[in-house]
Amino acid sequence: MDYTRGDRHKELADYVTSFEHGRVPVVYDVYLSQEGRFLGERFVRVGDWTSDRFHVNDRLLRVGVRFKPSHAGQKMFAVLSTANCFPTQQR
């Protein structure tokens, strides 16, 4: 499957707009530790479109790195992960 084709984006856009406004069924498996802390997630599907129809980077919720100014000679950065999308404790 060619994930770089522009018509793939249009096909997905058309598919997503076919759902009722504000109700796009997106499914992720979420993994928690025994203490209820977030360990990770795995994209499963959007509606009937399974994860294999998406480029691996398009399956991510959010990942990023932000560099912060710090003391002279030190480099500090924060990793922004998908853990921010989920509660810190299992309910």
In tens, the pLDDT along 36-60 reads 888 888 889 999 999 998 888 778 7
The whole-angstrom separation of Cα 76 and Cα 84 is 19
Q: What are the boundaries of each domain within the chain? A: 23-51+58-91
- For the chain, give the number of residues: 91
The residues with which 38 forms a beta bridge, in sequence order, are 32
User: Residues of the chain whose pLDDT is less than 70?
Assistant: 1-8, 62-81, 84, 86-91
- The HSE-up count of residue 44 (CA atoms within 13 Å, CB side) is 10
- What gap in Å lies between CA 52 and CA 8, rounded to an integer? 13
Residue 76 to residue 21: CA distance in whole angstroms: 42
> Would you give the distance in Å from CA 13 to the centre of its chain?
17
